[in-house]
Every structure is written in C-alpha cells, then in structure tokens.
Amino acid sequence: MRHLGLWLKRAGTGALRACTVAAVTMAVPAVWAAAVALGIRWGAGNPWSWLGPFVLTTVGTLALPRPVCRTVRFLVARWTDTVIPAGYRQAPPVTQLSTGYWWNGFGYERTRRDALMDQRRRIRWNDPANWRDLRFTAIAPFTAGLVACVPPAGAAAAVLGLTRPELLGRAVGVLALMVAVASSPYAWRCLVPVAVHFLRPSPSMVLADRVEELTAQRAEATVAQAAEIRRIERDLHDGAQARLVSLGLSLAIAEKLMETDPDQARTLMREARAGATASLTELRELVRGINPPVLNDRGLVDAVRALALDSPLETTVTAALDDCALDPPIESALYFATAELLTNATKHAHATQARISLTRTTTSVLIQVEDNGRGGADITPGGGLAGLRRRLSAFDGTLELTSPTGGPTLATLVVPCA
C-alpha cells in the first residue's frame, strides 16, 4: 500500500506537470489554431478573413517566445534544480552628452524617449537570445509538447470511453486511463533535455558574456583597491598617526620637565601611555577592517558566529562546513558579504531577528541570510547589493534575493568550492 501511495502521488504530480508543460509549449500553436478558426468563421467573403488571422499569428509568434521561454526556464529550475542561463543582452545606460544629444550605446538621438525606443528596437532585433527563443517555441510543441500531451489526452480519452455504453468503448477507456496514469510521472521530463539543448546560450555567447563580465570585474577590482588604499591612508593619517605625533610631543615635554616639575612630567607620561593604548586600539580596528583576526585564526564559521554575537539583531547561526576548505580570499568575500547583509537588515529593513545558514553542496558553498524585516529590498544598478553581487562574481559566485513587501527577506550566496 505504501508503494502504491507513492506511485499515485508521483502520477498525480506528474500529471499536473505534464498539463503545465503542454499548456506552456502549446501556447504559440494555440494562437495559430485560433487565428485559423477565426478566419474560417469569418468566411472567405469577409475582407478580414485573411488579414485578421495574419495579424494575430504574427503578433502571437513575436510576442510569446520570451514569456514562454522564461516560464520554461523557471519550471526546469523549480522541478530539477537545472539552471538555464537566459543570456539576454543588457541595455547599456542612456546618457545625455554636453551637445544635448542622448547616447544609447548604438547611436545618438535628440530626446531620451527616442534613445530608449531605438535602444529597445536594436536589442530586440540584434539579440541572438530572442532568435533562440523563437526557435525553441517552434520546436518545443513537436517534441516536449507532444509527449506532455499524452497524459491529458489519455485522461480525456478515458472519460469519453468510459461513458460509452459499448464494451469496446469502455475497454478503450480503461486502456487510455492506464496509458495516462503510467505516462504521467515521465511525460513532463522530456522538457528538460529539450530546454537545455535549445535554450542555453551558444559557446560564443557565453565567451562574449564572460569577457564582458571579466572586464567589469577588473574595473570593479581596480576601483575597490584604490578606495581601500585611500581608506587605510585616511585612517592612519587622521587616527593613529596623529596620536603617535601627539605621543612623541608629550614624551619630549615630559623629558624636559623631569627635573624641574616631576609631577607635571608624570601626568604627561600617563597621558602618553593612554595615547599609546588608544593608538594600538585604532591600529587593531584598522587591521580588523582589512581582515578580522578571528577569520584568520578560526575560519569562516567562527567568524560568522562572532559577527552574529556583535550584531544588534537576535541572530542564530547553523553551519555544516567542517569538511570544506576555502581559500582566504573566498572566506573574506563571504564574511564581508554576510556582514553587509546583516547591516542592511538592521539599518534598512528594521529587522529584529536574523538567521544565517552555512551549508556545503556538491560543488559550492551556500550561505543564506534571512531576516524578519519589512522587505521590499531590490538589487538596483549602482546600489550596495549590486556591488555585493559584482564582488562575488569575481569568484564565479552569485547573489539571489527574495524580498517581498512586508518581509521576510532571504538572501542566498553561492560560491563554487572545488
């Protein structure tokens, strides 16, 4: 009975998935069929009998591929954890020049509206990903779509057959029902290889995207390095260096007052000792900002636990990284990314509780930071989360954010760990 229950559960889930695959992949052919039916209904004498179906077919064929392919990528990732990169070209920023014209990455226009319209038109017609989506919507109905139609078609044939009074009709209905139930757990799986083969970017597109990504990472690393050097110089100049200069002056004055005014000299020496202690504390804080000592001594897990103890949020940490050795740069990137997410939860989300989970998958390290704040966070270009994603991309890492309005917010960091 237990195996029968599991089988029926798999069959039910498979039937729902097969119906979903059939509905998604058959969307464009459904538009074509509707256009043909509309033309037949209007009749040959109606002047719209050919123009209306032609317009409907054209609009449906050109407008549906991207939503259909996005839905297919989502379903494949949801059901099998297989991520198919979209590979769509990103629009460059539209900027106004000193001459008054607007540059959209392709040409100059007089107004920002014209520049955006021209940019969208060029990207839509020149992006290879759009033609790849169009090819998929033409192939999928005759491959994954036909296979996915077997369970619902079998169920429909079973209903028609079992309602017939003839013995042969009922026998056909029972056979159709058996085919529908037996094929349900497997019919939807044909979508995965078809989608992976026809929707993934070509090697040349992957290489071009990788070159652009590495160029952006190099520029980001250069800017970040220069900013870090300026921060260290500023902190040394305004903090420890100024205290050390004051310490030297105090010791020089105390040396002169040693014989004439010993009490004043002892006071100056006490102040100098306090200044030395403050300078040492500032230097330690500066070094901790570069790389926390606990991260060097105890590793990522203990460093994150120490971070949780220092956080004003009620933070719980669960970790399973004992068998994963990470390179120091990766540990540092993950530590500061986690610290930034906790800071955002405190300052912007006004959260009171947070949960940090560190786990190891087959090929990567996964960190999830969840808070009970007000939500509504988004990764906007030029924002802090976008910079965090760029810094992780230097290690082929990713940042995914789920933050509905009202919360909770869940940030997922994934970095390869070979």
Cis check for the bond before 201: say yes or no (omega within 30 of 0): no
Q: Are residues 239 and 137 in the same domain?
A: no
Residue 383's Cβ-side half-sphere holds a number of Cα atoms within 13 Å equal to: 10
pLDDT at 283 over 70: no
Q: What percent of the chain has pLDDT over 70?
A: 80
Q: Are residues 110 and 132 in the same domain?
A: no
Q: Are residues 68 and 148 in the same domain?
A: yes
Note the pLDDT of residue 311.
82
Q: Are residues 230 and 306 in the same domain?
A: no
- Among 54-63, 67-76, 133-142, the range scoring the smallest mean pLDDT is 54-63
pLDDT at 289 over 60: no
Q: Is residue 378 within 8 Å of 386, Cβ to Cβ?
A: no
Q: What percent of the chain has pLDDT over 90?
A: 0
Average pLDDT of the chain, as a whole number: 79
Report, as an integer, the average pLDDT of 248-259: 72
Orientation of helix 328-347 relative to helix 384-393, angle to 10°: 170
Note the pLDDT of residue 224.
61
Q: Left (φ > 0), alpha (ψ -120 to 50) or beta: where does 299 sit?
A: left
Q: Are residues 370 and 315 in the same domain?
A: yes
Q: Are residues 165 and 272 in the same domain?
A: no
356 is in which domain, residue-wise? 293-416
Distance CA 270, CA 249 (A): 13
Note the pLDDT of residue 291.
62
pLDDT at 323 over 70: no
The total number of structural domains in the chain stands at 4
Name the domain boundary from 252, 272, 290: 290
Distance CA 379, CA 409 (A): 12
Q: How confident is the model at residue 322 (pLDDT cuts 50, 70, 90)?
A: low
pLDDT at 156 over 60: yes
CB contact set of 186 (below 8 Å; sequence gap of 6+): 14
| Residue-wise pLDDT tens digits, 95-107 | 777 777 888 777 7
Distance CA 241, CA 247 (A): 10
Name the domain boundary from 257, 290, 323: 290
Q: Are residues 170 and 216 in the same domain?
A: no
Q: How confident is the model at residue 376 (pLDDT cuts 50, 70, 90)?
A: confident
Name the domain boundary from 175, 199, 223: 199
Q: Are residues 155 and 182 in the same domain?
A: yes
Note the pLDDT of residue 404.
83
Q: Are residues 406 and 354 in the same domain?
A: yes
